[in-house]
Amino acid sequence: MNLTTYQFSTIDISNHVSGEYIFCGSVKVHDKLYYIPNFSNVIGILDLTTRNFSVISIHEYVTGDNKYGGVVLYKHKLYFSPSCADDIGVLDTTTNRFSTISLQGHSCGRMKFSEPILLNNKIYFTPYGGSVVGVLDLDNHEFSTISLGNHVSGKGKFSGGVVLGKKIYFAPRNVDVIGVLDTETNIFSTIKLVGIISGDYKFSEAVVVGKRIFFVPYRCGVMLVYDVESNRFSSFTPGGEISTFSSFDGCVLVNNEIYFVPCKANCVGVLSLY
């Protein structure tokens, strides 16, 4: 893969939805991408075959800003990670029916979680404003939490994560570490980024390409790449709309292309890796 060769383009969505902080992540289901409602009251859908964009309204079920922080697919259902929403959102992609699951009395604070991660019939919710990892057991829909201990503090901790083996790697937002959760032991640890990258609102999400993790910029304008096997970092600057603060918030990998989720941008970004 040559990281110096890429092509960036856009897909207009302004006829369907507009404003700021529209969506904050996406997931691929067959030949479609589903976009997570953040400030908007709709779920966005991009047909990857035709590149047509459409929406599903959810305003009857949830209101307010910063509704959800991420989404994950399990079987034919999408599970939306609660940020300021008080429940987990669920979309049945076969019927387009939207419903919710209670957090069952757990106090997880405001701006609770960002991107969820699916592993072994459980959904792990990335800690953002709170100090716990949320866990939803998909066999019985029971919700529980795992403490971060004293490893990290503050608001806007992590923004999504990826799975390699039995570990989850959380993308740093305002903290200067990569979070690591061993799902066998439920032990949380960190990888320091001192001298590599700094500042707030660093990354919006991450994707795995082979044994490397690509951290997608939210403010820093730089794609950070972490090689898990060699424990080494590298980086490159795509430029274009990616260089603008909060143009995109989240991404999904499809073959050798990373699709960026529009936040302030009225377009879908596409980064081709060859």
> Angle at the Cα of 88 (from 153 to 124), degrees rounded to 5?
50
Quickly count: other Cβ atoms within 10 Å of residue 74's Cβ. 15
The pLDDT of residue 9 is 83
Helix (H, G, I), strand (E, B) or coil at 200: coil
**Any idea where the domains of the chain sit in the sequence?**
8-272
The pLDDT of residue 98 is 93
Q: Which of 178, 165, 259 is nearest to 226 (CA)?
A: 178
The pLDDT of residue 1 is 47
Q: CB-based burial of residue 10 (10 Å sphere; 0-12 exposed, 13-18 middle, 19+ buried)?
A: middle
The pLDDT of residue 189 is 94
Q: For the whole model, what pTM was predicted?
A: 0.75
The pLDDT of residue 161 is 87
Token pair 């383009």 is found at 9
Please list the ranges in the chain whose pLDDT falls under 50: 1
CATH 2.130.10.10 at 8-272, yes or no: yes
DSSP state of 241: G
Residue 49: strand pairing partners? none
Quickly count: other Cβ atoms within 10 Å of residue 6's Cβ. 19
